[in-house]
Chain A
Amino acid sequence: MVKSENTAARASNAKVMNRTDLTRRLVAKLKGEEAVVAGIGNTNFDLWAAGHRPQNFYMLGSMGLAFPIALGVALAQPQRRVVALEGDGSLLMQLGCLSTIAMLAPANLSLIVMDNSVYQITGGQATPAASSTDLVAVAQGCGLAGSTWASDEEDFERLVEAALSAKAPFLIAARIDGEPAAATTHRDPVQIRERFMRGIGARH
């Protein structure tokens, strides 16, 4: 039986942090116009908990597609910074998108994965990657040079600042604990989509 705590052999010197806290630190670094796309479950719940912004998009299904959706927004609006927030289990479902992002290399896309090595929302079962796979190494191998683990909260903030002005996408990975999200997103997909489109100026 694999323990449900973060047992990742990789990034062994990275501090185990808290998703709610890191998400709030991320939002505090935004200037206002950045789009943020957050993946299914706790990832978008904590984005909601950090204070709703009209430039936020919350996924209710389609596990694994936060990075592809954010890539689409970034391609459609090259002048706008787009931040994608994803969970490790979700990213594991769609690793191929890292190659697509590396191939297209949109200068305005920033990628963050919250890695607790478990499927937290379904009861904390370990992911198949938990004991053997380094997602940062995967991202680097896909061509996202500069991908890195955040060693602690200050390092996370420094990396976010760097990502927000970077000229090429890279993955920031954060080891996180098993705490649940601080709130639950209001689940109204049409309202989420319409608000997001107005928030990023695609509709008036």
Chain B
Amino acid sequence: MSSIEEHSSGDAWDAIALRALKANDVKLIAYVPDRVLATLIESLHADSFFTCFPTAREEEAIGIVSGAWMGGTLGAVLMQTSGFATLANVLASLVLPYQLPIVMLVSERGTLGEFNSGQALVCRTMRPVLDSLAIEHHTITRLDELEFIADRSIKQAVATQAPVALIFSPLLTGGKVFKA
């Protein structure tokens, strides 16, 4: 996959994301649900290629995919912004020192029309935490860039034995909007 143009499949973002996970053999999916990710989660559950299940907490999910990787299976954790905010300890004391390729898919809340002030400030903590730990991260805003970024990032995570965070912007997903 050499250019963005080759990824103009006409598929929706959730179908493209699923395809990128499958193409890179990301078989174990642990998640704490998110409204925006609901269709992707549903598709992952429906596809027998994936072992997909909810966890009680995001750091628990990171622990599970860490163990799975050491056992030979690549995994991803799906969460929303507020869930990422609970992960600094597990990233700094497990994923990074043990050099584990963990794929984090984060639905971005707290921006571009956020209606819940409880989400808005949490969002401000996400990129500073990622940057302070020197974790590779990309904010995906365009449908035509999604597959390229996801595919290359997962490959880089495995090759460099390092985590990666893919942040799904409301520009990509539509986000979650207030309905009166």
Do these two chains really belong together in a complex? yes
Interface string of A170-204 (1 = CB under 8 A from B): 00000000000000000001101100110011100
Q: Quick one: which of B96-152 are within 8 Å of A by CB?
A: 97-100
Q: Is the interface of A mostly helix, strand, loop or mixed?
A: helix
The answer to whether A97 touches B97 (Cβ under 8 A) is no
Interface string of B58-82 (1 = CB under 8 A from A): 0111111111111111010000000
**Complex alpha-carbon distance, A68 and B100, angstroms:** 15
* Residue of A64, A65, A70, A202 touching B72 (CB-CB under 8 A): A202
> Known: A60-B97, A72-B75, A75-B51. Contact between A97 and B70, CB under 8 A?
no
**Complex alpha-carbon distance, A114 and B98, angstroms:** 25
Question: Is B92 engaged at the interface, CB distance under 8 Å to the other chain?
Answer: yes
**Complex alpha-carbon distance, A30 and B110, angstroms:** 50
The answer to whether B72 touches A72 (Cβ under 8 A) is no
The answer to whether A69 touches B72 (Cβ under 8 A) is no
Closest A residue to B91 by CB, please name it. A62
Question: Is A12 engaged at the interface, CB distance under 8 Å to the other chain?
Answer: no
Shortest distance between the CB of B24 and any CB in chain A (Å) = 16
The answer to whether B64 touches A200 (Cβ under 8 A) is no
Shortest distance between the CB of B51 and any CB in chain A (Å) = 6
Question: Is A94 engaged at the interface, CB distance under 8 Å to the other chain?
Answer: yes
Give the 8 A-B CB pairs with smallest separation, nearest first.
A61-B93, A96-B56, A72-B67, A76-B71, A68-B63, A65-B63, A72-B68, A69-B67
